[in-house]
Amino acid sequence: MPLRKNQLEANKLQKRLRRNVGKAVADYNMIEEGDRVMVCLSGGKDSYAMLDILMNLQKNAPVNFELVAVNLDQKQPGFPEHVLPAYLDTLDLEYHILEKDTYSIVTSKIPDGKTYCSLCSRLRRGTLYGFAEQIGCTKVALGHHRDDIVETLFLNMFYQGKLKAMPPKLLSDDKKNMLIRPLAYCRESDLIALAELKQFPIIPCNLCGSQEGLQRNVVKEMLVGWERQFPGRIDTIFGAIKNVSPSQLADTDLFNFTGLQLDREPVAECDNLEVESHIRAINIS
């Protein structure tokens, strides 16, 4: 009986993740007929899950599209270069391993005690964008999930003074690449469970993942505490990201506050008798 129960739970988990990814793809028109999607693999649970789910969706999708797995080996000390190729060799899938020593650049440019994430992300993104063009990929898929998006919202509010998060779909500034986040509707807890179920060969990050006291970790701990005290709060916050009312904020670029005008009929003048009757009615009530 326990084995049967575990199998049922595993089936529910996989169906829920496929449904969430399918809905995100449909809501934002992430993948279209003939797309060649570059799935960026870091060796972490999220990117493994993204590839696994997209490969499953590909079998029954209403449109035809290709998947190409790409890993950027950033030459971090101790990085197990054999792990991803060994895993990808078991799949019927085109894949590429890029090599670029961004590790040395990041560690030489960022002072001790400062976080590597921003520069590391920019260097990695630039390399992947260029390679996507080179191999003819029309979409670049990253493994950010719902919790990442909510955390980024608070990071930007607390530390940058900006109300923005991670969009599920983004056109690059030069308009040469389209970035998509198919896991936008997926909970991190579900992705952790899937990684355990599938036994993905996880490769820990020895760059930003090794730093203590990151701002993102502080925000994550805050959100975990909220979710523990008020279950469903992260879902509610994510729902707010999708339900924005510019007129209820204060950004003059999003809403024309200066152009607001009254639109009402002129008030008819009341004679003295009407005024007195109104006053008497108020006093009586």
Distance CA 147, CA 2 (A): 31
pLDDT tier, 14 (very low <50, low <70, confident <90, very high otherwise): very high
Distance CA 216, CA 58 (A): 33
What integer pLDDT is reported at residue 212 of this predicted model?
Answer: 45
Distance CA 122, CA 148 (A): 17
What integer pLDDT is reported at residue 113 of this predicted model?
Answer: 57
Q: What is the DSSP string of 60-87?
A: H-SS--EEEEEEEE---TT--TTHHHHH
Mean pLDDT for the chain overall: 87
The pairs formed by 231-240 with CB atoms below 8 angstroms and a separation of 24 or more are 234/146, 234/147, 234/150, 234/187, 237/150, 237/153, 238/146, 238/149, 238/150
- Dump pLDDT digits (tens) for 216-257: 889 999 999 999 999 999 999 999 999 999 999 999 999 999
Q: Centre a 10 Å sphere on the Cβ of residue 233 and count the other Cβ atoms it contains.
A: 15
SS3 178: strand
Q: Centre a 10 Å sphere on the Cβ of residue 166 and count the other Cβ atoms it contains.
A: 20
**Integer distance in angstroms from the first to the last C-alpha of the chain?**
71
Q: What token pair was written down for 133?
A: 């063009």
What are residue 72's phi and psi, to 5 degrees?
A: -105, 110
* Residue 75 region by backbone torsions, left for phi larger than 0, else alpha for psi between -120 and 50, else beta: left
Do 74 and 104 touch, CB atoms closer than 8 A? no
Do 81 and 109 touch, CB atoms closer than 8 A? no
What integer pLDDT is reported at residue 229 of this predicted model?
Answer: 96
Sorted by where each begins, the domain ranges of the chain are 2-212
Q: What is the DSSP string of 187-228?
A: -HHHHHHHHHHHT------SSGGG-SS-HHHHHHHHHHHHHH
Do 70 and 38 touch, CB atoms closer than 8 A? yes
Non-local CB neighbours of 32 within 8 Å, separated by 6+ positions: 63, 65
Length of the chain: 285
CATH of 2-212 among 3.30.565.10, 3.90.1150.10, 3.40.50.620, 3.90.1170.50: 3.40.50.620
What integer pLDDT is reported at residue 62 of this predicted model?
Answer: 93
Distance CA 185, CA 85 (A): 29
What integer pLDDT is reported at residue 104 of this predicted model?
Answer: 62
pLDDT tier, 280 (very low <50, low <70, confident <90, very high otherwise): low
Distance CA 224, CA 209 (A): 18
Examine the pLDDT at 69 and tell me if it is beyond 80.
Answer: yes
- Dump pLDDT digits (tens) for 183-208: 999 999 999 999 999 999 999 865 55
Crossing angle of helices 45-60 and 2-27, in 10° steps, is 80
Crossing angle of helices 233-241 and 215-229, in 10° steps, is 120
